[in-house]
Amino acid sequence: MSDSFELMATFDVPAMTVYRAWLDGASHSAMTGAPAESDPVAGGRFSAWDGYISGIHRELVPGKKIVQAWRTTEFPADAPDSVVEILLEEEGHGTKLILRHSSIPDGQGEEYRQGWVDYYFSPMKEYFSE
């Protein structure tokens, strides 16, 4: 059995701004406050939080969707990658971000749910308000 959840956040910038910041290593680093690298093409590799998170961009639809094979150093060695799907929707002058995280190793879901809020959505709100 694996864990999964869905989260939503809004940001006062266009969807393409969020999309580019997520996929550009330097912008991702500035957005989260932690080292990140990214080859922003389908099949390209990425890492975030100084290598704690790593994976592959599976599907990229500019300004609309990012799908990643995603794992952390806390996944059991034999566990498959989880799946992170980020949907971006224009909403007024801003963007609604829907994050779906699935296929998380059993028992780890709540830790990652809170991690997205603490280490992504909160710093992103600050980053995009500057």
pLDDT of residue 1: 79
CATH number of the CATH domain containing 97: 3.30.530.20
| Dist CA 4 CA 6 (whole Å) | 7
pLDDT in tens, 80-108: 999 999 999 999 999 999 999 999 999 99
Cα 58 to Cα 65: distance, rounded to the nearest angstrom: 10
Q: How many domains does the chain have?
A: 1
Average pLDDT, the chain: 97
Picking from 68, 67, 32, 66, the residue whose alpha carbon sits closest to that of residue 48 is 32
The domain containing residue 98 runs over which residues?
2-129
What pTM was computed for the model?
Answer: 0.95
Put the strands of the sheet holding 94-105 in their side by side order. Answer: 2-11, 94-105, 82-91, 65-72, 53-61, 45-48, 37-38
Q: pLDDT at position 124, please?
A: 97
